[in-house]
Structure 1
Amino acid sequence: MTTSILTADKDWWRGAVIYQIYPRSFQDSNGDGIGDLKGITARLSHVAELGADAIWISPFFTSPMRDFGYDVSDYCDVDPIFGTLGDFDALIAEAHRLGIRVMIDLVISHTSSDHPWFRESQSSRDNAKADWYVWSDPKPDGTPPNNWLSIFGGSAWQWHPGRMQYFLHNFLTTQPDLNLHNPEVQDAVLDATRFWLKRGVDGFRLDTINFYFHDRKLRDNPALAPERRNANTAPAVNPYNFQEHLYDKNQPENLAFLKRFRAVLDEFPAIAAVGEVGDSQRGLEIVGEYTSGGDKMHMCYAFEFLAPERPTPVTVAEVLHAFAAAAPEGWACWAFSNHDVVRHVSRWGAGVEDTDGFAKLYASVLMSLRGSICIYEGEELALPEAEIAFEDLQDPYGIEFWPEFKGRDGCRTPMVWEGNNPNGGFSTAEKTWLPVPTEHLSRAVDRQKGAQGSVMEHYRTFLAFRKTQPVLAKGEIRFLPVTGNVLAFTRTQGEDKLLCLFNMGETMERSALPPGDWTVLSGHGLAGNLEGGIVELPAWGGFIARHV
């Protein structure tokens, strides 16, 4: 029997460091060129050594893989390409032995069109599951019932000749939206949630949480003024940004369902959930609604730090102030990279000479903010976005909008473990599902592990430092006036108070130490010097001190 070193701490998620694993690309154990659950289990020691508290595994459920697992055809089984339920049980056991909690990606806004529920629903207008998806008659001229758009391009409605109706799909046409207005559908997805809780998962990341409900009246979305459009939810070339999404998502009925979902979680000890809020106009407002009252989501993350623009000291403070105003009872979960956006080293670091210094500084900022954080696999290596040739593309999103938008494959390439291996130690296959970029090999784990000054060692150093400073995990935050490129704030918990200064620029900065007695802290891997009450911060430097 495997022994777990985890405790039943209901508050474990608050300030947790969550390492996101994209299972297709983490480690291939059987040589087919695709990562799998056994591969994850074999590499969990890397996550433990890094210092993460939990992992979030992107979907591994049975799926036709048209959207690579985000199109589920069986909520209660593992797709054969990833392994078996037994492999998942072994993964849970090993993670818990290492002190790592396991969160899995739950996709309940839609299913695959291959799901038995949809196959039955599409068969007639009067079968037992006829109302389990969002069906509507066409307008008298045969066109879709309204103007709603799919994030993946075109109308959000797909004609079905069998039912002589349209069905709603916010993503691919093969991803029909579930009708969560139907209590039976809610019961079914909650039963699937319990299935995984009984297998020992510690929590969930809820995909597209604000897409669960649609407007029953199917009203048209209004147009959005050009000056209000941005590309945080969809790429700039996508007309999805032209609408104000009042009716196809963000519906008030979701609050009651989230309470039902939370009640299921509370049937089990020490479970947590983080919701992905995909909305450019009302993101933080929705986060506030979904995390209020202690009876819905534990935490949510919006897209503010997944945006194309590099954060500055001013914008970092603005985002956290906006979060505090929108969600005074809520808890944030911040991420700079994930499986859907250009890796932040490339997204924000274009033109930066010292890529490693830039990556270390931004990692330190992320790990010092009030909230929990997500680290995306390969982020700790400062992997840049990969350039993928059109003929190698797998992502239907990128294929649809190529070449103006190249899709998400550039951030999904395989993890690199060994610099001298053509496949980076990810797989023994002749061809991997996405190519391993040659330029990533020099940043492989074995090239950085134990190497003084490497980005990976900085992540390990700062995370170890963070564990010795509980105030960084759970303390309050107060921003100080911005001078130059210096981000300055204090973190306070009880009598404990830290000062954090980060130079988010490429030139030397000087910052006056605030009044009071301060003890300079070391062990965090950042460069900064105190001289006569003035802190000197080299490019991408930082400084942390404790008030005494």
Structure 2
Amino acid sequence: MTTALATTPETATDKDWWRGAVIYQIYPRSYQDSNGDGIGDLMGIVQRLPYIATLGVDAIWISPFFMSPMKDFGYDVSDYCDVDPMFGSLADFDAVIETAHQLGIKVMIDLVLSHTSEQHPWFIESRANKSNEKSNWYVWADPKPDGTAPNNWLSIFGGSAWQWDARREQYYMHNFLVSQPDLNFHEPAVQEALLDVARFWLNRGVDGFRLDTINFYMHDEQLRDNPALPPDQRNANTAPAVNPYNHQEHIYDKNHPKNVDFLRRLRAEMEPFGAAAVGEVGDSQRGLEILGEYTRGDDLMQMCYAFEFLAADAPTASRFVEVMDEVDRVAGNGWACWAFSNHDVVRHATRWDLAPGAQRMFATLIMCLRGSVCIYQGEELGLPEADVSFDDLQDPYGIEFWPEFKGRDGCRTPMVWTPDNQNGGFSDGKPWLPVGTEHLHLAVAAQEDSPGALLHHYRKAIAFRREHPALSRGDNDKMRANGDVLYFTRRDDDQEIFCAFNVSATPSDFDMPAGNWSEIGGELGAAHVSVDGKLHLGPWQVCLALKAEG
């Protein structure tokens, strides 16, 4: 290993940098290949950081680049404190940190703490017998008298969450792939080992963590069966509709109340560094409630995101109101991080069947919401979901449920930088996933030369958010809907901004609230307000207005 960067807690500056931040997610396998092997890498990220800086984002989140057999593409870790050679080296990661910080960009990394790879030395030792030092580091259980699994828990990737192991003649738990055994957070030594991992990366200079499956860390020690979920309550946000995982209410295999005790310990480690975390809450029934639990106060996580706006159906004005009312009810003292796309769901341009005007409206809208924001690489280009054939499929999730669920490869295809070759400027070799031919005309270079391109709109929307503290860090009044028009007011100190969005392709008329309002956001296509306060919103149009003092 190389020597860690000389980063100390004393170098921490604004500890609230995360509040209202715009975070750009990088899926490193697919961002930029620097050595021609067809796989994106850390030096590729270094190469493209100046482009990221032009977007005006506050931070990047890098999906896993740790040592891994790559059965789940890095989310199966075999060494938490080293870089997999396909991505480079620790020295390359140091270059990412140094370059990003020089450009004023924070660096967050994806920590996968709930489970490891079966090839992790901890698991190899744990499965050897029932008496070794790490025998209790994973979730082991005896079979029922008839030899079947200990209970009815299911894996998100299909089938039972239990796998028989002949070495110990016991089952081990895996919420995901069979090759991803779950760590036992009820074992104090496990928690300490994972806190050591966090310390390693904090000392190396990271500014925070994205915490994968944050509500999966702990399980019910009594191994009680999950109750069945009535068909009318099944929600396919966490798992695809064809997955029987949706048939259970997951109250015992995750969402353990003692999970917050570990999160407090993790926050204490981050605090001296001014580091922040955003947790992924995977739960279709209690996602927002857990978001509130995990971000309430100053000793837990700074941010979490649930799956409400990663759902299949495009949110209507009334749906936004419904979600935000629930946030106010169960997470009013917490802090959400909003996203429309990421590496696990169909890109929202396709998922919601968005016309160009709708893409602009949603880009502006997310930048006006209270909370922080994650945008996923290529979202700023308006990339649709790529069409990946079964023969090219890499994702085990898609292979398992094909063709009803085609997996996650369609949102993970390589980033397109230039339109003049079949690899889109991503690699000089054969890409690990084919570049979507439908993406080439949307490449960065093509959009840079087109003043009206979506890429420029994202830059303007991010800049607009940064320029107005009421949007990035302010409070908001109750969100309301008038037909297809969503509207609300954001406030911070003396700044008050009225926001209205036509969440439809049908024009709408609207009356501005009383007050002396001046139009802002013209660069975002915001509508004009008539002298009598009447507002005409065209399809997918927005209105942004600043209230005059006094």
TM-score by length of 2: 0.97
Q: Once superposed, which parts of structure 1, at least 4 consecutive aligned residues long, lie more than 6 Å away?
A: none
> Which one is further off, 180-189 or 519-528?
519-528
The aligned counterpart of 1:324 is 328
The aligned counterpart of 2:147 is 142
The aligned counterpart of 1:341 is 345
Contact 2:32 2:427 in 1 (8 A): yes
Partner Cα separation in structure 2 for residue 536 and residue 450 of structure 1: 32
The aligned counterpart of 1:535 is 535
Aligned length: 540
Deviation at 1:524, TM superposition (A): 3.8
Paired residue secondary structure (1:99): coil
Paired residue secondary structure (2:385): coil
The aligned counterpart of 2:452 is 453
Partner Cα separation in structure 1 for residue 298 and residue 180 of structure 2: 32
Q: How does 1:390-429 map to 2 (within 5 A)?
A: 390-429=390-429
Deviation at 1:324, TM superposition (A): 1.7
Contact 2:364 2:524 in 1 (8 A): no
Q: How does 1:515-534 map to 2 (within 5 A)?
A: 515-532=514-531, 533-534=533-534
Partner Cα separation in structure 2 for residue 188 and residue 309 of structure 1: 41
The aligned counterpart of 1:251 is 256
2:337 alignment partner AA:
C
C-alpha offsets along residues 8-59 of structure 1, whole Å, 9 cap, x if unaligned?
Answer: 1000000000000000000000000000000001001111101100000000
1:433 alignment partner AA:
W
Change (3 A) 1:56 1:135: same
The aligned counterpart of 1:358 is 358
Deviation at 1:462, TM superposition (A): 1.3
Contact 2:321 2:479 in 1 (8 A): no
1:386 alignment partner AA:
A
Deviation at 1:470, TM superposition (A): 1.0
Partner Cα separation in structure 1 for residue 459 and residue 444 of structure 2: 12
Deviation at 1:371, TM superposition (A): 0.3
Contact 2:235 2:241 in 1 (8 A): yes
Paired residue secondary structure (2:463): helix
The aligned counterpart of 2:313 is 309
Contact 2:12 2:272 in 1 (8 A): no
1:317 alignment partner AA:
V
Partner Cα separation in structure 1 for residue 183 and residue 308 of structure 2: 28
Contact 1:335 1:375 in 2 (8 A): yes
Change (3 A) 1:90 1:2: farther
1:451 alignment partner AA:
S
Asked if residue 91 in structure 1 is aligned to residue 96 in structure 2, the reply is yes
Deviation at 1:293, TM superposition (A): 2.2
Paired residue secondary structure (1:267): helix
Paired residue secondary structure (2:101): helix
The partner residue of 1:8 within 13, 22, 32 is 13
C-alpha offsets along residues 276-319 of structure 1, whole Å, 9 cap, x if unaligned?
Answer: 00000111111111111211111111101101111111111221
Contact 1:2 1:93 in 2 (8 A): no
Deviation at 1:529, TM superposition (A): 1.9
The partner residue of 2:223 within 198, 218, 227 is 218
Change (3 A) 1:128 1:480: closer
The partner residue of 2:190 within 185, 189, 199 is 185
The aligned counterpart of 1:295 is 299
The aligned counterpart of 2:164 is 159
The aligned counterpart of 1:284 is 288
Deviation at 1:2, TM superposition (A): 12
Structure 2: segments with no counterpart, 5+ residues: none
Change (3 A) 1:293 1:2: closer
The aligned counterpart of 1:30 is 35
Contact 1:461 1:523 in 2 (8 A): no
Contact 2:30 2:415 in 1 (8 A): yes
Change (3 A) 1:538 1:484: same
1:402 alignment partner AA:
W
Deviation at 1:7, TM superposition (A): 7.2
C-alpha offsets along residues 132-176 of structure 1, whole Å, 9 cap, x if unaligned?
Answer: 000011011110000000000000000001111000000000000
Contact 1:450 1:457 in 2 (8 A): no
Paired residue secondary structure (1:491): strand
Contact 2:215 2:255 in 1 (8 A): yes
2:171 alignment partner AA:
Y
Paired residue secondary structure (1:35): coil
Partner Cα separation in structure 2 for residue 377 and residue 509 of structure 1: 33
> Which one is further off, 420-429 or 313-322?
313-322
The aligned counterpart of 2:268 is 263
Deviation at 1:527, TM superposition (A): 3.6
The aligned counterpart of 1:470 is 469
Partner Cα separation in structure 1 for residue 334 and residue 523 of structure 2: 28
Structure 1: segments with no counterpart, 5+ residues: none
Partner Cα separation in structure 2 for residue 181 and residue 306 of structure 1: 31
> Which one is further off, 492-501 or 54-63?
492-501
RMSD, aligned CA: 1.4
Q: How does 1:89-128 map to 2 (within 5 A)?
A: 89-128=94-133
1:406 alignment partner AA:
K
TM-score by length of 1: 0.97
Paired residue secondary structure (2:304): strand
> Which one is further off, 392-401 or 537-546?
537-546
Deviation at 1:499, TM superposition (A): 0.6
Deviation at 1:421, TM superposition (A): 1.8
